[in-house]
Amino acid sequence: MKTISIIAGVIALTGVAIYALPGLTADTKPEPLRMAPPAPRSLPSVPGSMPQVQLTFAPVVKRVAPAVVNVYSKSVVQQQVNPFFNDPLIGQLFGTPEMRQRVQQSLGSGVIVRADGLIVTNNHVVEGGNEITVSLADKREFRAKVLMADARTDLAVLKIDTKGERLPVVPFADSDAVQVGDLVLAIGDPFNVGQTVTMGIVSALARTQISASDYQFFIQTDAAINPGNSGGALVTTAGTLAGINTAIYSRSGGNIGIGFAIPANLVRRVVEGVEGGLKNGGTANVQLAWVGANGEQVNSEKAAALGLPKPGGVLIKDVYPGGPLGKAGVKSGDVVQTVDGAAVDDMQSLNYRTATHRPGDNVRMHIASGKTGRDVTVTLALPPENPPKEATTIAGRNPLVGARVENLSPAAATELQMDVMEHGVAIVAVAPGGLAANYGFQPGDIVRSINGASINRTGELVRALNGVNQWNMVIERGGRKLTLSVEG
């Protein structure tokens, strides 16, 4: 379970009762004013029958719980025997350090969404796992195949071989119909104690800024969620899947009543994408629609500067030429306020509303430009892979040995959760124990220049690295420029 530490505060609200005064007329003698007595307080109704006394969620749990599973992920990681070799210079002088293998295990939950054994869980539950095991509620265990694992949405889709047996499933709810105050059940396996059901309410909707995901739009609940619940089900009282439990706020790593679930509408879109890809003989990678722009939240200060009556919406900063918003006539400085009537307040919520549609779908957006507004129809599309990735793994004798790099395009930037307008050459993976890892290079780093020469394509990077004995490098990481000088 992902956890985020916070310092919580409490705000108390008070109410004031107002009573009516008796009326006065010209034909009556004025009487002293008296306060009307308060209305008698209504008492909670007493259950009138045994069925009312025995109200319970047991029928819902009995129907849904068999479709919630445990997911065990085992991975083998390489670990240096001697940390002395962490120094890149030592590695160059004495060669490759001695490594040993260590088995690492993680525990999570999952939800069966198709009777032939298709299961949804969190990406962070299975990420890096070499062996995935699924344990059903009846204690049977199956080896699982990872069909798709997507860090952007923090969702993964698994498949187990049921030999033709039909398994119980949890049907999807329309998560847009979920309301604050609705009762919900969280089902999973916290701390590996066994399947556990907790109850709470929907505390809030459309929570963003919770994690690194570009598509965060979480349902918040106070149902107890703990480590091991990741990937489990957040269920409505109708027995449908409202969301996939994903993250909690916590000081200690345990539950304090603030948990978050990925809405079912995005989960369903991901599952449909996996099913469609496999049915057409392709891959299970889910391709999510995009709007072709980046933007920022409109706060009170920006709203006043833009002439808007109140904060809200997404201020568009850059529009990709020929992208969906560009074709619809949306320009830099416009504010996207709604998508199909649903309000959007930041880029994450706009990305979410877009991703729940298929590429090619038409959506209606309300655009504000100063004090005027207009509705536009936007035809969604896939982010283009232009230029092509031209992915390559760096070899030879240079500081980037062991790094895998590719050209940035809107498609590549989306996969890497980077700004869609970024360009250049990005590091997408770093081999453990290699020179690139020892020098501290990370996935997401962009190589801007080597020895003063700008780097725009992977071919330029390879040529700049070879045939020299000194590398003066400029790297961009999270918007900051970093420099590294290495002599060989």
Instruction: List, by residue number, the catalytic residues.
Output: 124, 154, 230
Structure tokens at 168: 């119980």
Residues 6+ apart with CB under 8 A from 82: 97, 98
**Nearest-CA neighbor of 384 among 321, 426, 315, 336?**
321
Structure tokens at 455: 């780097």
C-beta atoms surrounding 89 within 10 Å: 10
Report how far apart, in Å, the C-alpha atoms of 181 and of each of 173, 221, 222 are.
Answer: 16, 9, 10
Structure tokens at 327: 């074709």
Cis peptide before 387 (omega within 30 of 0): yes
How far apart are alpha carbons 88 and 92 in whole angstroms?
Answer: 6
Q: What is the dihedral of CA 125, 127, 218, 283, to 10 degrees?
A: -120
Residue whose tokens read 């000194």 = 470
How far apart are alpha carbons 34 and 411 in whole angstroms?
Answer: 73
Structure tokens at 356: 């729940």
Q: What angle do CA 14, 18, 23 make, to 5 degrees?
A: 175
How far apart are alpha carbons 45 and 443 in whole angstroms?
Answer: 60
